[in-house]
Amino acid sequence: MIEIRFHGRGGQGAVTSVELLSLAAINEGKFAQGFPSFGPERRGAPVLAFCRVDNKHIRLRCKIANPDVVVILDPSLIRIQNPPADLKENGVIVLNTPKSPEEVRRDYGFKHTLALVDANKVAREILGVPIVNTTMMGALIKATGVVKLESLEHPLKERFGPLAVKNYNALKAAFEQTVIEERRS
């Protein structure tokens, strides 16, 4: 099983991401579970969303405490929440940032495998708005292979209708632009 925790802000699409990712996994014949964790938050407030994907039934019904992957849609949350604090030792940090791996390691002290993409830039260029959920899913897929890119086509069409093509293009662009750097001891 792969357990993924998304850290975002209200309005960035973290909850939508886990929904779409779960549907893509189910369309591949896998089992998936996606759910948010938030109270009366408003746009811009920190939001957590969780996704589990496995090849067999998932019996857990709790928040993800020790994820395999953390996806950080907004790097300002690193100082507020420290998303990778409970990441598994061989885990992956998928981060929205224009910084290089060296800068990220220097600035945040991360020792896990990094998957970095300037999701804001990709979203602005392709979607015209800095909503980074689909771009960050492209980075996540490149880093983990949790689902195939094409498995998101149908869920995107269902969710976004005529905007699905732009979102799929943003997903693919982010997949191609994601830089992966292996874990450092």
Query: Residue 160 has what pLDDT?
Result: 96
All structural domains of the chain with their residue ranges: 2-181
Predicted TM-score (pTM) of the model is 0.95
Cβ density class 88-104: b for 16+ within 10 Å, e for less: eeebbbbbbbebebeeb
| 74-105 pLDDT per residue, tens | 999 999 989 999 999 999 999 999 999 999 99
Higher pLDDT, residue 39 or 160: 160
| CA 66 to mean position of chain CA atoms | 16
Per-residue confidence band for 40, with pLDDT thresholds at 50, 70 and 90: low
Higher pLDDT, residue 10 or 136: 136
Rounded to whole angstroms, the Cα distance separating 128 from 123 reads 6
Look at residues 17, 146, 1 and name the one whose alpha carbon lies nearest to residue 60.
1
Which string of DSSP letters, residue by residue, matches 47-59? EEEEEEEESS---
Q: Which residue(s) pair with 6 in the sheet? A: 49, 71
In this prediction, residues 51-75 reach a mean pLDDT of 95
CATH class of 2-181: alpha beta
Query: Residue 39 has what pLDDT?
Result: 62
pLDDT at position 185 over 70:
no
| 106-165 pLDDT per residue, tens | 999 999 999 999 999 999 999 999 899 999 999 999 999 999 999 999 999 999 999 999
Query: Residue 183 has what pLDDT?
Result: 85
Q: What percent of the chain has pLDDT over 70?
A: 97
